Amino acid sequence: MPQHPIRIAWSTNLQPTHWPRMAPLIPASVALLLILLGLSSCSAIEPSQLQLVAPQPWQVLQREMPPQSPGAEKQQQQARGDTAVRLQLTGQQLSAPIAAAYWRLLPCNPTTEPTVTHVAATETMWQPLQLMLTEHGARTNSAAGTTATAQADVRMPAGGWYRLEIRLQSIAGHSTDAAVEPVGVGEVFLIAGQSYATNTNDERLQVRDPQRRVAALNTETGVWQVADDPQPAPDHSDGGSIWPAVGDRLASALNVPVGFINVAVGGTAVRQWLPTEPLSQRLHAAGRSTGRFRAVLWQQGESDVIENTTLADYVNRLQSIRSAAVAAWQFSPAWYCALSTHHPTVYNNPDGENRIRDAIRQVSQLPGFALGPDTDQLRGPNRGGPKSRRHFSALGQQNAAELWASLLLRQEFNRP
């Protein structure tokens, strides 16, 4: 696996005159045993005093995309980019003087058993790491000893899944390791809106990507997980969604993991997302929690058909919602608005649907917005009947997912 350079710096006076090689720290026979046991592969991590608490297992970090170079190979284009990652560690070892710290990434496939072929672990893969004790060490005392916290900044390449490993070396020459897996660098999307964006559809979908490279953040617990339905949405709906299928398509096309953060709530009108409302505050917090993400995916409009919201009110309210969110996030992601107004088992109101569709088209022409897919076109067998969950049928879920994925690939990644 190629090395990825980082800037080397020191926060203590313990800098050695040269970086020690890691191989002499353990006998060759012990190293071989550890490899055979899968210690450096995508296997379970034994409890340790030193813990890597961020990033989390299954977390997807938004990559930074450099300009596409002419003539680059297709695979390089798909997985290009990297991102700055702040690591957070805690443990007793951080309260004692540290001679050196290192980090590395190993390829990790969480769907397979660990094998020796997964371990490309050689001493040359370790890279020097600058540790910074937080709040002067942030030391806490307990019966087990003194614990401190630290952080470090690295750059991780686009791709994954990865196993991220940290190694600390004491002045006495002892080493302590910590690891987290799987983590990835790819594409992250924030989902907002109402029921068609949550788990109110007929079939609970599962992630089908062979490496399960589609994950979701539970905004209530702060924990990342595989994005199998039901999605961890705040309305606690328990049916099926379209997002596992969207993620499968994107992960396959882009060759990177995909992450979703879903704050949609069924039955909500655009007025309930205004900046002073709790839904808007949750939207702001969710966006801040991930640092950066690619775009907002807005699937909403049915409740405004029911409430007879005017075109002007819808446009003005959504503008206000986005402006407040951008101010809270301190960056300006694209905001894709699906044409989502048709709800045949609830109402028959073509005029109301057309009014909100026109409002969505109008707002999508404003700076920062973009027109999303037209999911209203999915009718007939794409919709569940009165004895179903009354939203998308299993067929409709797959077709809506394809509409979203195809649009994002065209608009964000210039892919056919």
117: pLDDT strictly greater than 60:
no
pLDDT score of 127: 93
User: Is the Cα torsion angle 255, 287, 205, 195 positive or negative in sign?
Assistant: negative
Per-residue pLDDT band for 153 (boundaries 50, 70, 90) equals: very high
* Rounded Cα–Cα distance for residues 408 and 153 (Å): 30
3: pLDDT strictly greater than 50:
no
The mean-pLDDT minimum among 97-111, 175-189, 287-301, 331-345 falls in 97-111
Q: Domains plus CATH for the chain?
A: 23-184 (2.60.40.10), 194-413 (3.40.50.1110)
* pLDDT tens digits for range 268-307: 999 999 999 999 999 999 999 988 999 999 999 999 999 9
58: pLDDT strictly greater than 90:
yes
* Rounded Cα–Cα distance for residues 194 and 201 (Å): 12
pLDDT score of 135: 58
* Rounded Cα–Cα distance for residues 38 and 161 (Å): 16
* Rounded Cα–Cα distance for residues 147 and 165 (Å): 20
Give this prediction's pTM: 0.83
pLDDT score of 43: 41
Contacts of 412 (CB under 8 A, 6+ apart): 294, 295, 334
Over range 89-118, report the average pLDDT: 80
The tokens for 66 are: 């450099």
Secondary structure (3-state) at 244: helix
The mean-pLDDT minimum among 119-133, 227-241, 293-307, 384-398 falls in 119-133
Per-residue pLDDT band for 105 (boundaries 50, 70, 90) equals: very high
Q: Are 175 and 48 in contact (CB under 8 A)?
A: no
The mean-pLDDT minimum among 111-125, 206-220, 324-338 falls in 111-125
pLDDT score of 122: 54
Bridge partners of 10?
none
